Structure 1
Amino acid sequence: MTIDHTHAPELTSWVESANGHADFPVQNLPLGIFAPSGGTPRPGVAIGDMILDLTGVAALLPDAVAPALTGTTLNALFALPVADRVALRRAVSRLLSDDADQAIVAPMLHCADECTMHLPAAIGDYTDFYVGIHHANNVGRQFRPDQPLLPNYKWVPIGYHGRASSVRPSGVPVIRPKGQRKPPQADVPDYGPSRRLDYELEMGVWIGRGNALGEPIAIGEAGEHIAGLSLLNDWSARDFQAWEYQPLGPFLAKNFHTSVSPWVVTAEALAPFRIAQPPRPEGDPRPLPYLWDEGDQARGALAIELEVHLSTAAMRKAGTAPHRLSHGLASNMYWTIAQIVTHHASNGCNLMPGDLLGTGTISAADDSGFGSLLEISRGGSQPVMLPGGETRAFLEDGDEVVLTARASADGYVPIGFGACRADIQPART
């Protein structure tokens, strides 16, 4: 992706709240589906504390883009060629930074706090990967101390087919799931609410143009099929998972709820924050040719800082600030985003505009950046101490988990993703 005048650090907007905004300065311009108070869902762009109604300014946008802005999802926009998405970004940047356009555009702005956010796209399919190398090692040691990574991990991006129907935007509560549980000391399983409910810190990858059935995506062309990124929390019932994951992998432990932040930070906006993929440890195999591209290795990772905060019901009642559980980098991934897109389609599987991929849990190499309570609490054996004296090995009813992310690079204005949050509600009787 090309860095151009829309990324210029000196660029400002006549929308005052955008200038210096932690997440949505004019250099970002993420896409989403919002509904103004009393209105229907429509495409929009976040700018500071406001949302620009793209449908309302469609006549001011490139002709090739305007027809993709009439629906209630971003699928048609994601399907556009990259050149059209770039043209849209440049046009919106001009509308929000040029004072000459203010009188025409200002009536199409809505206060974000008064709007409802929806899922960005109609998700045809959702696939979750497992590319966080430190998470894979940490979890693997709990089950296989002598061999935390299975032999295939360093050869193939591991993934599984998730459940698209249970993906929800930030803010929708998570109802504690029920399922089969079999503690190690029990002879037979029982059925009931999960006792080991957990979060997973991930990035969500939104597919753009996609590919036809039977036609793989070349690694050098994978970027053309990536519309943008969101934050993603693939909630996990660890007690269900331990009992059911063999031989076919996660099922009820994962399919009950997945949260995504509603704003899609476009691939174009992230151009200044692309960095080299961390080198593989000495002795690790070089990926097979279909997964290897020198350009992707040089610019396939992203300079994004990730954080997770937790607040309990008692903390909120007492006015206590949320407790930070972790802080780490999105570059802690063994495989690049381009590699997981390429591998997904390598057998001819067709990816479609609006499909969602999860990176898998992203953890750092030390405790400060672990991406799940399973890791932080060492499988529940070392509970986390919270302000006010509470402890958590896993999530309890009333807890709220908030994921945040910020991309930064020298010489450029940092941009954020908005929050991905949800609170835990009791299991239904």
Structure 2
Amino acid sequence: MPEQPSPSPLDLAEGDPFGPHNLPYGVFSTADEPGRRRVGVRIGSHVLDAGAAAHALGSSYAGLLAQPSLNPLMAAGRTVWRDVRRALTAWLTSPAHRADVEPLLHPLDAVTLHLPYEVADYVDFYASEHHASNVGRMFRPDGEPLTPNWKHLPIGYHGRSGTVVVSGTDVVRPSGQRKAPTDPAPVFGPSTKLDIEAEVGFVVGTPSETGRPVALGDFREHVFGLTLLNDWSARDIQAWEYVPLGPFLGKSFATSVSAWVTPLEALDAARVAPPARDFPLLPYLDDADEDEPGGYELHITVEINGEVVAEPPFSTMYWTAAQQLAHMTVNGASLRTGDLYGSGTVSGPETHQRGSLLELTWNGRDALDLSTGKRTFLEDGDEVTLTAWAPGPDGVKVGLGEVTGRITPAV
């Protein structure tokens, strides 16, 4: 019997969520060259060395892709993003290119993934009406769940870009001041209410000029793609410090992001209209007549130690990423390549759709019963994983790269 050829890594199973319709970008290194980081594109369970492929096939984008970070590609602008994506799709789908491309594919489990872009600024929003209402009911039980400004502008805060870490990085339990309502004075020590926030992050590619706001309709000209994001939160530290200026040490110790950035173009089939707005919006936020629907249908799953604890739906978010970008720049603040902004906790109307332990346990009142023990907030050794998918073309799912982090003891 003649020897059968080995199956190609490009022969993917039908419906693979990381097929040619997806092609998220990352940065990787290999065991034989650990100090050499390079741009990669995920295809199935492999990573294509994008710069090497561009060089082998004589692409004019070889220099742009042979970089240790996505920042040069992201800064090149939307026309280049589109052209590079078309080229990658052709390289990975045309039989004529297989001989050149296959040797440049690396098994995903044999590479090290890195933070794929240099984070410039980090902003986090508070865009889920269900999350904000739940928090309001918990902490203002005798008042309105939402503050008067909530439905008139996307509320956010400026975070710490230097502590954005890639998926797989351990998260050290933070220490700080905390004070329970009945305590006479604050104490210092490790957080006892360490939490997660299941979010979606948006990564800016094209910068903007200081003093010139970015209009709603220019969202896709500036945002390169999106990524899953876990905004770790120390609720006890946060509760004591946040009045009157908002989150600080309770948030700034770590923010985990996926190693993969999914281009917006891969999510065209997932674009949906946001929920109906209850109040007229000021012109710079009014998206009623915009061609961009604004919302995205993303299905997120939250696991703790391998057990599913929540499934938040991103389509329920009241404020869109385009509105957040417009609001973030309306005062003239400029965008830089590598800016990252988070959606805020994604929560839906049902209990199992809540994207934080604060909500899932109602601030510790209702413990989750897991096989590893009851949980109100995270314990040392707990591992949290966020995964997600979106509808793609012809019913195929678009997979978003996971984001995982494990809690280690305070130092």
What interval of TM-score do these two structures reach, taking the shorter chain for normalisation?
A: over 0.9
Does the 8 Å CA contact 2:217/2:292 hold for their aligned counterparts? no
Which of 387, 392, 404 is the aligned partner of 2:371? 387
Which of 407, 415, 419 is the aligned partner of 2:390? 407
Does the 8 Å CA contact 2:274/2:316 hold for their aligned counterparts? no
Cα 1:31–1:245 change in 2 (3 A) is same
Distance 1:297 1:368 in 2: 33
Which of 262, 265, 274 is the aligned partner of 1:265? 262
Matched, 1:19 2:13: yes
Correspondence for 2:220: 223
Correspondence for 2:90: 94
Matched, 1:75 2:58: no
Structure 2: state its 5+ residue gaps: 1-6
Q: Which amino acid aligns with 1:45?
A: V
Correspondence for 1:54: 50
Distance 1:342 1:33 in 2: 29
TM-score by length of 1: 0.90
| CA shift for structure 1 position 92 | 0.6
| CA shift for structure 1 position 296 | 4.4
Tell me whether 341-350 or 53-62 shows the greater mean CA deviation.
53-62
1:377-423: per-residue Cα shift (whole Å, max 9, x none)? 010011111126x1000000010100000001572321111210011
Does the 8 Å CA contact 1:23/1:418 hold for their aligned counterparts? no
TM-score by length of 2: 0.94
Correspondence for 2:314: 330
Q: Which amino acid aligns with 2:47?
A: I
Cα 1:107–1:16 change in 2 (3 A) is closer
Matched, 1:422 2:405: yes
Which of 173, 178, 182 is the aligned partner of 1:176? 173
Which of 356, 375, 378 is the aligned partner of 2:362? 378
Q: Which amino acid aligns with 2:87?
A: A
Matched, 1:305 2:330: no
Does the 8 Å CA contact 2:166/2:256 hold for their aligned counterparts? yes
Correspondence for 1:116: 112
Correspondence for 1:30: 24
Q: Which amino acid aligns with 2:374?
A: T
Correspondence for 1:361: 345
Distance 2:92 2:11 in 1: 12
| CA shift for structure 1 position 18 | 3.4
Cα 1:339–1:239 change in 2 (3 A) is same
Cα 1:22–1:142 change in 2 (3 A) is farther
Distance 1:50 1:161 in 2: 36
Q: Which amino acid aligns with 1:333?
A: M
| CA shift for structure 1 position 188 | 0.2
Matched, 1:241 2:225: no
Distance 2:54 2:395 in 1: 29
Correspondence for 2:121: 125
Distance 1:344 1:418 in 2: 26
1:233-279: per-residue Cα shift (whole Å, max 9, x none)? 00000000100000110000000000001100001111121111221
1:203-251: per-residue Cα shift (whole Å, max 9, x none)? 0100010201111111111221110000000000000010000011000
Q: Which amino acid aligns with 1:395?
A: L
Distance 1:401 1:80 in 2: 34
Structure 1: state its 5+ residue gaps: 1-12, 312-321
Tell me whether 105-114 or 229-238 shows the greater mean CA deviation.
105-114
Distance 1:362 1:61 in 2: 43
Cα 1:197–1:55 change in 2 (3 A) is same
Q: Which amino acid aligns with 1:209?
A: T
Does the 8 Å CA contact 2:266/2:392 hold for their aligned counterparts? no
Distance 2:58 2:234 in 1: 45
Distance 2:134 2:44 in 1: 38
Distance 2:8 2:298 in 1: 27
Distance 2:359 2:83 in 1: 43
Cα 1:297–1:223 change in 2 (3 A) is same
Cα 1:61–1:183 change in 2 (3 A) is farther
Distance 1:301 1:125 in 2: 23
Correspondence for 1:10: none
Correspondence for 2:153: 156
**DSSP 3-state at the match of 2:406:** strand
**DSSP 3-state at the match of 2:395:** coil
Correspondence for 1:8: none
Correspondence for 1:207: 204
**DSSP 3-state at the match of 2:266:** coil
Tell me whether 286-295 or 156-165 shows the greater mean CA deviation.
286-295
Cα 1:14–1:34 change in 2 (3 A) is same
Cα 1:61–1:422 change in 2 (3 A) is farther
Q: Percent identity between the aligned chains? A: 45
Distance 1:240 1:401 in 2: 20
Distance 1:415 1:409 in 2: 5
Cα 1:80–1:273 change in 2 (3 A) is same
**DSSP 3-state at the match of 2:185:** coil
1:88-115: per-residue Cα shift (whole Å, max 9, x none)? 1111111111111010111111111011
* Cα RMSD (Å): 1.6
